[in-house]
């Protein structure tokens, strides 16, 4: 049976119109039918653009090294790009097959490689189509997902500084196959896609074919349901943003924002806040534990609810979320002799920030015979002197500034020899204030994804 493909370069033009001015277009190329068709379409669109106005076109192939044919597929992708005069980058990744489902860990490794390669101003084009959208929705439905999960994949999203675009989400796989045949395209077939033991393959090979026989418009109907679920999720996010109010600089969630809300709105706000902090929202059971144990704890309590590497804690009247285990730096001392580049710390980075409390550059870095400048971490008993004030225990400063207890041993302390120069982002000590505008050096501790959250 022959199908009208309805696949042409307008799909690429429409996708890129959402994000004009991209510096470089990068197509994710596995060598399979979908990505081969996408690369061909994108190349045809690119050739139609004025030579002095079109962005650079690039392809990236991720070799997961999971199949005996992986090197052959890599070579075929490189040869295809060479024929079309498209620059191709190959990244080999190691997939920990014991860390979870193969589909999940392979995707995590693939996206990590994408993030490493892509830069600000890049657009990554991926070849997910309507069949993929339907399969994703059904997988999430089986896991009990809410509107956000059932919304499946979006056609455009921002990811770590680059833009991710999926131009083919309104196209069925059978249309792509017809397009590929019409244009004499050659592609590779991954045998793992025929293994019904994998959930997605079971849906694709066993469930959907019979269902589509009974409902020919099934793809369109389920894709419409995914779109409606996504719209509902957006509305729930807007409601949660109203309930949250002005976000705190430290990422915390005030208990007052949750109090007085009905249970459904409490859960919605909690999930929204956790996603903003880079924390995977927990199960329904864990969500209720957070509301029942952390929210209602005594003001002087420090309750904790954890799931996987994630946790929610409370300090005073604020909830904080963490998305990783906290390191224990102990007696670590990190030498510092420059601030042109960020310094990696056990949690996050030390970096220059003009808005942060300013140190004296000369007092920290210049002059002969200065004692070494190091970053160390709290061990207990440290004392410091703020400008114009007597010496005081570091513990008192942390309490006055409301620093959560679990971050006190991770906050970087700048030491000049045996004297504390200050705590970046928190305070500057006596003798280390800048003496002039050109002597200012603003330093900040950026804890990263786990920032006081």
Burial class of 109 by CB neighbour count within 10 A (0 to 12, 13 to 18, 19+): buried
Share of the chain above pLDDT 90, in %: 76
Q: What is the pLDDT of residue 31?
A: 96
Q: Is residue 408 one of the residues assigned to a domain? A: yes
Asked if residue 138 has pLDDT above 70, the reply is yes
Same domain assignment for residues 89 and 177: yes
User: Is residue 175 in some structural domain?
Assistant: yes
Q: What's the CATH number where 267 sits?
A: 1.20.59.20
Asked if 203 and 210 touch (Cβ cutoff 8 Å), the reply is no
Sequence-ordered list of residues with C-beta below 8 angstroms from that of 365, at least 6 positions apart, any chain? 337, 338, 339, 373
Q: Is residue 153 part of a domain?
A: yes
Quick: pLDDT tens for 70-119.
999 999 999 999 999 999 999 999 998 887 788 889 999 999 999 999 99
C-alpha span between 379 and 329 (Å, rounded): 10
User: Is the pLDDT higher at 294 or at 450?
Assistant: 294
Is residue 49 domain-shared with residue 198, that is, in the same domain? Answer: yes
- Give the pLDDT band of residue 249 (cuts 50, 70, 90): confident
Query: The pTM is what?
Result: 0.78
Q: What backbone phi and psi angles, to 5 degrees, belong to 337? A: -130, 5
Is the pLDDT at 405 greater than 70, yes or no? yes
Please tell me whether residues 286 and 212 are part of one structural domain.
no
Residue-level pLDDT at 295: 85
Give the pLDDT confidence score for residue 368 in this predicted structure: 54
Using left for φ > 0, alpha for ψ between -120 and 50, and beta otherwise, residue 57 falls in: beta
d(CA 19, CA 12) in angstroms, rounded, equals 11
One domain, residues 352 and 445: yes
pLDDT given for residue 5 in this prediction? 57
pLDDT of 347-402, one tens digit each? Answer: 889 999 999 999 999 999 876 567 889 999 999 999 999 999 999 999 999 999 98
CATH number of domain containing 54: 3.40.50.620
Is 407 inside any structural domain?
yes
**374 and 318, same structural domain?**
no
Burial label, 185 (beta-carbon count in 10 A; 0-12, 13-18, 19+): middle
- 179 and 102 assigned to the same domain: yes
Q: Are residues 162 and 280 in the same domain?
A: no
230-257: string of b/e by CB count within 10 Å (b at 16+)? beebeebbeebeebbeeeeeebbbebeb
Kindly state whether residue 233 falls inside one of the protein's structural domains.
no
pLDDT score recorded for residue 98: 82
Confidence of residue 145 (pLDDT cuts 50, 70, 90): very high
Kindly state whether residue 279 falls inside one of the protein's structural domains.
yes
Is the per-residue pLDDT at 451 higher than 80?
A: no
Q: 291 and 212 in one domain? A: no
Q: Are the C-beta atoms of 274 and 299 separated by less than 8 Å?
A: no
On whether both 8 and 55 belong to a single domain, the answer is yes
- Do 429 and 439 meet the contact criterion of CB atoms below 8 Å apart? no
Domain contains 144: yes
Q: 12 by DSSP, 3-state: which?
A: helix
What is the 8-class DSSP label of residue 370?
P
User: Within its chain, how far is the Cα of 220 from the centroid?
Assistant: 30
* CB contact at 8 A, 254 and 317: yes
Residue 402's contacts (CB-CB under 8 Å, 6 or more residues apart) are: 315, 316
> pLDDT tens digits for 321-332?
988 888 988 889
What percentage of the chain reaches a pLDDT higher than 70? 97
Pair 260, 409 in one domain: no
Per-residue pLDDT band at 124 (split at 50, 70, 90):
very high
Q: Is the pLDDT of residue 220 over 70?
A: yes
- CA dist., res. 303 & res. 312, Å (int): 8
**Residue where a domain stops, chosen among 279, 302, 322:** 322
Average pLDDT of the chain to the nearest whole number: 91
List helix spans (H) across 143-217: 147-150, 173-182, 199-202, 208-214
pLDDT of residue 369: 63
- Torsions phi, psi of 145, nearest 5? -70, 155
In Å, what is the CA distance from 373 to each residue of 338, 382, 444? 10, 17, 16
Residue 101, pLDDT score: 83
pLDDT at residue 453 tops 60: no
Number of domains in the chain: 3
Mean pLDDT is lowest, of 98-112, 203-217, 412-426, for: 98-112
Residues 85 and 163 in one domain: yes
| Domain presence at residue 369 | yes
Contact, 91 vs 63, CB < 8 A? yes
pLDDT at position 159: 82
Name the strand (E) or helix (H) holding 385.
strand 383-385
Q: Which residue range(s) make up the domain with 125? A: 1-224
Task: Lay out the sheet containing 24-28: strands in order across.
Answer: 87-92, 56-63, 24-28, 122-125, 162-165, 156-159
Report d(CA 9, CA 69) in Å as an integer: 31
Query: Is the same domain home to 215 and 264?
Result: no
Q: Which band of pLDDT confidence, cut at 50, 70 and 90, is reported for residue 450?
A: very low
């Amino acid at each position: 049976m022959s199908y009208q493909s309805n696949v042409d370069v307008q799909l690429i033009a429409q996708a890129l119109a959402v994000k004009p001015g991209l510096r470089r277009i990068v197509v994710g190329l596995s060598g399979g039918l979908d990505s081969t068709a996408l690369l061909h379409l994108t190349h045809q669109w690119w050739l139609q653009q004025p030579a002095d106005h079109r962005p650079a076109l690039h392809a990236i192939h991720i070799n997961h090294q999971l199949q005996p044919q992986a090197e052959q597929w890599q070579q075929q992708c490189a040869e295809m790009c060479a024929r079309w005069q498209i620059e191709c980058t190959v990244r080999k990744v190691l997939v920990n097959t014991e860390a979870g489902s193969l589909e999940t860990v392979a995707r995590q490794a693939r996206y990590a490689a994408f993030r490493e390669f892509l830069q600000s101003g890049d657009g990554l084009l991926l070849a997910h189509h309507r069949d993929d959208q339907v399969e994703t929705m059904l997988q999430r439905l089986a896991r009990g997902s809410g509107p956000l999960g059932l919304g499946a994949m979006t056609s455009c999203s921002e990811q770590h500084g680059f833009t991710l675009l999926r131009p083919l989400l309104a196209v069925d796989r059978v249309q792509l196959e017809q397009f590929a045949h019409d244009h004499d395209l050659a592609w590779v077939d991954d045998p793992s896609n025929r293994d019904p033991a994998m959930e997605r393959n079971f849906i694709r090979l066993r469930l959907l074919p019979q269902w589509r026989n009974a409902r020919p418009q099934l793809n369109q109907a389920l894709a419409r349901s995914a779109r409606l679920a996504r719209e509902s999720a957006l509305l729930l996010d807007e409601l949660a943003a109203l309930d949250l109010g002005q976000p705190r600089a430290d990422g915390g969630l005030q208990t007052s924002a949750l109090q007085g809300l009905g249970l459904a709105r409490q859960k919605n706000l909690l999930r929204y806040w956790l996603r903003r902090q880079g924390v995977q929202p927990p199960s329904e059971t864990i969500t209720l534990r957070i509301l029942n144990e952390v929210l209602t704890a005594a003001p002087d309590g420090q309750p904790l609810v954890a799931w996987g590497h994630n946790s929610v804690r409370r300090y005073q009247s604020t909830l904080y979320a963490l998305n990783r285990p906290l390191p224990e730096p102990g007696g670590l001392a990190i030498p510092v002799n420059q601030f042109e580049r960020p310094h990696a710390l056990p949690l996050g980075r030390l970096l220059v920030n003009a808005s942060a409390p300013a140190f004296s550059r000369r007092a920290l870095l210049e002059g002969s015979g200065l004692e070494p400048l190091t970053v160390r971490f709290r061990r207990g008993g440290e004392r410091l002197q703020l400008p114009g004030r007597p010496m005081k225990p570091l513990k008192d400063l942390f309490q006055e500034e409301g620093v959560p207890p679990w971050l006190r041993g991770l906050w970087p302390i700048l030491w000049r020899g045996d004297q504390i120069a200050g705590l970046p982002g928190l305070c500057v000590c006596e003798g280390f204030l800048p003496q002039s505008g050109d002597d200012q050096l603003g330093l900040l501790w950026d804890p990263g994804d786990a920032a006081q959250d």
